[in-house]
Structure 1
Amino acid sequence: MNRRTLTALCLAACLVVPFAGVALASARAHGLAWKECGDGLRCADLIVPVDWADPGGPKTAVHVAMLPATGRSSGPLIVNFGGPGTSTVMLRPAAGPDTPPELPALLKELRRHFDVIAVDPRGMSEQITGKAVSCAEPAASVFGLIIARTKDDWDAHAAQNAAHQAGCRKAARSAWRGLTARNVAHDLDALRDRLGQEKLRYAGNSYGTVYAQAYLELFPQRVGRIYFDGTADHTQPSLEAWLRSYALTQERHLTRFHDWCARRKSCALHGRDAGKAWDELVARARRAPLPATSGRTVHEGQLYAGAVNGMTPPRWPMLATAIRKALDGDATDFLTVLGPEEGSSSVGGDSLCNDFMPDLPTYEEFQAIESRLRAIAPRFGWVEGRFELGRCWGRSGGASWAPHPLRVRGDIPPLLFAIGDLDNNTNYLGQQRVAAQIPSARVLTHGDGHASWAGNSCLRRHVLAYLTAGALPAPGAHCPAERIQEVGK
């Protein structure tokens, strides 16, 4: 999941309209009705129960798209590129500005071996399907609690999220009951069945790995080859412990940013200690708001919000420039270039909250949690608590699939995990935690950040060998950074 917009690899999408009265048995008997849908894709609707716990209840349509193999096909490879958002649109050549530029080359490579099939999670669909609706009100910005300075600000954030959720519930109708990763895992198994695949072969990135974790629990006997890229940890039941992993990762990332800047002559802070430059800027903001253009100012919360937006490696050059300019008297970049993004009208955030934060702390309980986060990550990482909580603050009463340790039964075939040294999106501590709970997991580390499968040739080579032939990298294998080398040239 892209933690900045919820859609790092996906475009914003909307809710699938329920298909009332469609018989699941009929859909099974006749398979999927594939139709040409542009850009060389074939599309179909997977008709499934809204809630698999009630298979005889209302039905909904899940959008599926296929890029047929260009070579001799080894069968289907089901993919989900994360979000939570629409993955099917990522198969199109003009998917949007958030699409990694390397993705078309990866898809071309995969199609030499597989029919590549993307499945959208609950509540998501391409606009062209005609089945998508938007929630009436946008959610609050995920940066809202970072910027908040008073309890009234927190209450306003909660009110906006509550209004968003009410609009989504109204638009979703009965489908609202099904917005959990557990139901998406059932959908994956239904798709596997329709495709005639005995064992699931699947590649999940970011939020796509949450569906894979649910699949391991629900259908261990039908697990084939599953690749986890940038795994989101759904196995930590303690919200504070989960936030602590993010805080420690971001605190380390400030050091990584400092080290990168020391090596790169193109860094705007090259020749000075970038970490100390940040500390100095924070100290100034705590004394008084920082000046910006047009009579504006930047207070401490806005400074942190911009830094969270800029701490991912591809944005390090922008963050370094923003810090230098602010130290020179103009903090405008923290309002513009790195300014907080607005909330989305997509239902993706509701799905995330149903899966990760169905039970929220009170305002007073979180203040105590934040004080402990400040103790272990005082320079920068502590703010992650507000960032993550900001997604869900004010939402309540949705479907629920709460985090818990993996409960996998039986022998699971070898699974491949890729963990990036610079991944602060789905933090490396959480990724390691998930992999450690699966005896058959093989971890391949690499020097890049989140969602690097498409952009790291070493990683691609190992993943393709695994998906096609089941070949695993040697224990302890590591792919050197490739994408980070491009930053700041």
Structure 2
Amino acid sequence: MDRRTLIALCLAACLAVPLGGIALASAQTHRLSWKDCGDGLRCAELVVPVDWADPGGPTTSVHVAKLPATGRSLGPLVVNFGGPGVSTAMLRPRNDPDTPPELPGLLKELRSRFDVVALDPRGLSEPGSGKIVSCEEPGASIYGLILARTKQDWDAHAAKNAAHQASCRKTARSAWYGMTAWNVAHDLDALRAALGQEKLRYAGNSYGTVYAQAYLELFPQRVGRMYFDGTADHTQQEFEPWLRNYARTQERHLTRFRDWCARRADCALHDRDAGKAWDELTARVRRAPLPASSGRTVHEGQLYAGAVKGMSPALWPQFATAIRKALDGDAADFLTKLAPDQGGSSVSQDSLCNDFMPKLPTYEEFQGIEARLREIAPRFGWIEGRFELGRCWGFSADASWAPHPLRVKDVPPILFAIGELDNNTNYLGQQHVAEQIPSARVLWHGDGHASWAGNSCLRRHVDAYLTTGQLPAPGTRCPAERIQRVGK
């Protein structure tokens, strides 16, 4: 029996298992033993199968951390802040430089009513936990295909990612096959049972919503209140339609960047149409590389790579300044302040590729995809094809949980927050996921990705839902708050 058949049979079995099934049996055998672990946290290790498709096989453990409630607790609230990353470390905001500045306030509010619990995905954890899978070879930069100018550049990108994946697999050994959202969803259910809860109360941001989508399918009878923030669309079975949503979103984002700049006297392009300024710059770079200080130049790929980074609303002021300086003869900001990030040694990217891109197009197939993306998003959005594909180009699908339409019914009301400025997990894809859940209630807001902590209107509605189950009225919209603070 091949692995896909085995997983399909296990999925069917899991959907049929009652409350006393596989996950609960595992949790009963391996109860949580909480210990103080600094910063007011209690930590434990949850023992789970390496692969839930073989529940009687080898075991591993995942790291769990809890911020006990400061007031009368309504019970545990399991959270995942995305990535895929180390959510337990996010409960220690003073020690994590990547923590959003609004998160400490949100955690303070949450723990006044809940025991806030985080579980780390397979291979990712806090330093010192012993659960980290470190890869000897770094992966290629996710901007690498944007920078690529020849087929040889594409091949070099693939080779670097393949070497990274091989080194991760070597370190992880058999645990490699458990690095999928399908397995993490099973881990969440084992955690629910170990916490003594009949239903899972969960708040997921970004990649945390991928685990939630799997949980809805696998354990619908154990779903309590679930909040989706910045949902990543794991429901598009075909690669190109998934990319089209990103391309359309980014194309519209260029217009939103232009409109924001027109309203802001402190925007470096306030005195002109910022969108047309970008068009002028791209026309110039197609004719010849752009001059930069110290005798350097910026080629087309470097310009677009910096723009993908700068198109995040939080970096709009730097992006506008970079365009202005480049038009005035110095494009150096695209090599410095907006320079592409380098590849890392974490298994985070590997987990994403296992879930989202187990089957990649060939180089030739992608040329056709890119041509069609240029037709619908010719000014900027077409580049998203290279950006998203660059995450996984060169990886092989040794472990996978492929995207597919959601198969969900008979679950309680689920709250979605979708940001009109979200180009990270694009808002078109988020809406696509919500439409497949009959009980979903969508709360639109005017900010971007991961705004739960920074938008007070959003927080009020989410708090009411998590504590009492009260949903916002249909059609409720929260105005932008975070974007108003950008550049100040």
TM-score normalised by length of structure 2: 0.94
> Identity of aligned pairs, percent?
81
Per-residue CA deviations over 1:187-214 (Å, capped at 9, x if unaligned) read: 0000000001111100000000000000
Residue identity in the other structure for 1:92: R
Structure 1 residue 391 corresponds to structure 2 residue 421: no
Q: What is the identity, as a one-letter code, of the residue corresponding to 1:58?
A: P
Aligned to 2:180: 180
Query: Could you tell me how far apart the structure 1 residues matched to 2:398 and 2:427 are?
Result: 29
Equivalent in the alignment of 1:486: 485
1:30 Cα deviation (Å)? 5.5
Aligned 8 A contact 2:357 2:392 in 1: yes
Moved more, 30-39 or 262-271: 30-39
CA deviation digits over 1:206-236, x for unaligned, max 9? Answer: 0000000000000000000000000000000
User: 1:346 maps to which residue?
Assistant: 346
Q: Distance in 2 between matches of 1:388 and 1:151?
A: 18
The residue number in structure 2 matching 1:11 is none
1:295 is aligned to 295
1:216 aligned partner: 216
Q: Bigger CA drift: 127-136 or 284-293? A: 127-136
Q: Which amino acid aligns with 1:487?
A: V
Alignment of 1:35 onto 2:14: no
Structure-1 residue corresponding to 2:109: 109
Distance apart, 1:29 and its partner CA: 3.8
- How far off is 1:296 after superposition? 1.0
Match of 1:12 in 2: none
- Give the C-alpha shift of residue 176 in structure 1: 0.4
Cα 1:26–1:459, aligned 2, differ >3 Å: closer, same or farther?
Answer: closer
* SS of structure 1 residue aligned to 2:93: coil
Amino acid of the structure 2 residue aligned with 1:88? T
Q: In 1, are the aligned partners of 2:48 and 2:61 still within 8 Å (CA)? A: yes
Aligned length: 466
Q: Contact 1:291–1:329 at 8 Å: present in 2 too?
A: yes
Whether the 8 Å contact between 1:269 and 1:320 is mirrored in structure 2 is yes
| Alpha-carbon distance in 2 for matches of 1:333, 1:294 | 12
Match of 1:142 in 2: 142
Quick one: distance in 2 between partners of 1:137 and 1:261? 41
Query: What is the rounded CA distance, in whole Å, between the counterparts of 2:316 and 2:222 in structure 1?
Result: 42
Q: Provide the C-alpha distance between the structure 1 equivalents of 2:93 and 2:479, rounded to a whole number of angstroms.
A: 28
Deviations 1:450-482 (A, max 9, x none): 000000000001001000000000001000000
**Cα deviation 1:424-443 (Å, max 9, x = unaligned):** 00001100000000110000
Question: Following TM superposition, by how much is the alpha carbon of 1:27 offset from its aligned partner in structure 2, in angstroms?
Answer: 5.5
Distance 1:27 1:214, change over 3 A: closer
Instruction: Give the equivalent residue in structure 2 for 1:459.
Output: 458
1:319 aligns with 2:319: yes
| Greater Cα shift, 430-439 or 29-38 | 29-38
Q: For each residue in 1:220-263, what CA deviation from the matched residue of structure 2 results, as whole angstroms up to 9, or x when unmatched?
A: 00000000000000000010000000000000000000000000
Aligned residue type for 1:194: A
Distance in 2 between the 1:32 and 1:358 partners?
Answer: 33
The whole-number CA distance in structure 2 between the counterparts of 1:93 and 1:271 is 39
TM-score by length of 1: 0.94
Cα drift, residue 179 of structure 1? 0.8
The answer on whether the counterparts of 2:359 and 2:397 sit within 8 Å (CA) in structure 1 is no
Give the structure 2 partner of residue 4 of structure 1: none
Residue 129 of structure 1 aligns to a residue in which SS?
coil
RMSD of the alignment, in Å?
1.2
Q: Which amino acid aligns with 1:136?
A: E
Distance in structure 2 (CA, Å) of the matches to 1:66 and 1:49: 22
Aligned residue type for 1:121:
P
Query: Take 1:204 and 1:160, find their aligned partners in 2: how far apart are those partners?
Result: 32
- Provide the residue aligned with 1:419 in structure 2: 418
Is the Cα contact below 8 Å between 1:209 and 1:228 reproduced in 2? yes
Within 1, Cα distance between the matches of 2:284 and 2:44?
56
How far apart in 2 are the matches of 1:75 and 1:67? 12
2:104 aligned counterpart, secondary structure? helix
Q: Which residue of 1 aligns with 2:256?
A: 256
Q: CA deviation at 1:82?
A: 0.1
| SS state at 2:391 partner | helix
What SS class does the counterpart of residue 444 from structure 2 fall into? strand
Partner residue, 2:447: 448
Structure 1 residues 66-85: aligned runs within 5 Å: 66-85=66-85
The residue type paired with residue 68 of structure 1 is P
The 3-state SS of whatever aligns with 1:324 is: helix
Cα distance per residue 1:344-367 (max 9 Å; x no partner): 100011110110000000000000
Work out whether residues 39 and 93 of structure 1, in 8 Å CA contact, stay in contact via their aligned partners in 2. no
Q: Which amino acid aligns with 2:168?
A: C
Q: CA deviation at 1:282?
A: 0.4
Deviation string for 1:269-315 (max 9, x for gaps)? Answer: 01101000000000110000001122111000000000000001000
Q: Letter of the aligned partner of 1:110 in structure 2?
A: L
Shift of 1:25: 5.8
Q: Distance in 1 between matches of 2:395 and 2:385?
A: 17
SS at match of 1:118: strand
1:168 corresponds in structure 2 to 168
Against the structure 1 CA distance between its residues 165 and 30, is the aligned structure 2 distance closer, same or farther, given a 3 Å change threshold?
closer
* Separation (CA, whole Å) in 2 of partners of 1:353 and 1:26: 28
Amino acid at match of 2:46: L
Query: What is the CA distance between 1:423 and its match in structure 2?
Result: 0.3
**Match of residue 52 from structure 1:** 52
Are the structure 2 counterparts of residues 390 and 370 from structure 1 closer, same or farther at C-alpha, using a change threshold of 3 Å?
Answer: same
Partner of 2:270: 270
Contact 2:81 2:207 in 1 (8 A): yes
Structure 1 residue aligned with 2:16: none
Q: How many Å separate the matches in 2 of 1:202 and 1:65?
A: 15
Contact 2:93–2:103 (CA under 8 A) maintained in structure 1: no
Any conservation in 1 of the 2:200–2:223 contact (CA below 8 Å)? Answer: yes
Conserved? CA contact 1:202–1:227, under 8 Å = yes
The aligned residue for residue 126 of structure 2 is 126
> Structure 1, residues 379-427: CA drift from partner, whole Å, max 9, x if none?
0000000000000000003201000000114x11000000001000000
AA matched with 2:119: V
2 CA distance for matches of 1:59 and 1:448?
42
SS in 2 for 1:393: coil
Does structure 1 retain, via aligned residues, the 8 Å contact 2:217–2:407? yes
Give yes or no for contact 2:124–2:131 (8 Å, CA) kept in 1.
Answer: no
**How far apart in 2 are the matches of 1:104 and 1:371?**
45
Task: Please report how far the alpha carbon of residue 488 of structure 1 lies from its aligned counterpart in structure 2 after TM superposition.
Answer: 2.4
Q: Tell me the CA shift for residue 487 of structure 1.
A: 1.0
Instruction: Tell me how far apart the structure 1 counterparts of residues 180 and 219 of structure 2 sit (CA, whole Å).
Output: 16
Which segments of 5 or more consecutive residues in structure 2 lack a partner in the other structure? Answer: 1-22
CA distance in 1, matches of 2:368, 2:336: 32
Distance 1:267 1:158 in 2: 39
Q: Secondary structure at the match of 1:108?
A: helix
| SS of residue paired to 1:392 | coil
Q: After TM superposition, give the deviation of residue 28 of structure 1 in Å.
A: 1.9
Partner of residue 3, structure 1: none
1:360 is paired with a residue whose SS is coil
Contact preservation (8 Å) 1:264, 1:488: no
